[in-house]
Amino acid sequence: MNIDERLACTPRPLSTSGFNPDCTLPYALSSQHIQRSMQDFLDFLGFINVQLITKEMPRLESFLMPANFSSMVGEYMNVTIPKYCPTLVKNQYHNGHPDLIPVGVFANNAVQHSTEGIEIKGSRHLSGWQGHNPESVWLMVFVFDSNTSNDKMKDIAPKPFSFHAVYAAELTMRDWAFSGRSATSRRTITASVTQSGVQKMKANWVYEDLGER
């Protein structure tokens, strides 16, 4: 295992000055809660990757499909944010929407669909975020950079995982563009956040550290 691969096991630290204390967040959530959750993920990923490399196995982000790794980032936040923000809980309904809901509002903290709560996504992109349906809901996107399972064939060098930004805003139906599909297509039906929605989220940035992107 080469030295670059070993160095890439340790994620890049968060910029402590990169958090916006004036951002607007619902349900008593704060930028400090987000910071602690992000740090937990960096500790988790660093621990797992160091253990993998001692067995000469590839890092987690280097063998998971890119979409699966992005989903894992989001799912980790769904579990960790309520650890620090007691007014939110992970939606206990299987594939329920949104991901985080206010504590005690729904029976058994589970709801199939509601506009109350926060939908969480992980993405490698600073725009072009997608969902399965247009939704009036709070959306929070964790933007990160990392290697992918496709990098080796592209001769892309090992690099440590890093968070570049967190954006959040309450979106309306007008902030989404629905993308259908033809009768013969197998592509998953999606909706994309429009430019107006992207600008709304970036104006309410929670974290930014874009210098090395």
Three-class SS of residue 104?
coil
Total count of residues recorded for the chain? 213
Topology of the domain covering 24-208 = ECO RV Endonuclease; Chain A (3.40.600)
Interval 77-106: pLDDT, tens: 999 999 999 999 999 999 999 999 999 999
Interval 150-189: pLDDT, tens: 998 898 999 999 999 999 999 999 999 876 654 555 556 6
Three-class SS of residue 101?
strand
Q: What local confidence, expressed as pLDDT, does residue 134 receive?
A: 77
Calpha distance 100→81 (Å, rounded): 9
Strand 118-123 versus strand 137-145 pairing type: parallel
What DSSP string describes 154-202? TTPPP---EEEEEEEEEE-GGGEEEE---TT--SPPEEEE-HHHHHHHH
Amino acid letter for position 106: F
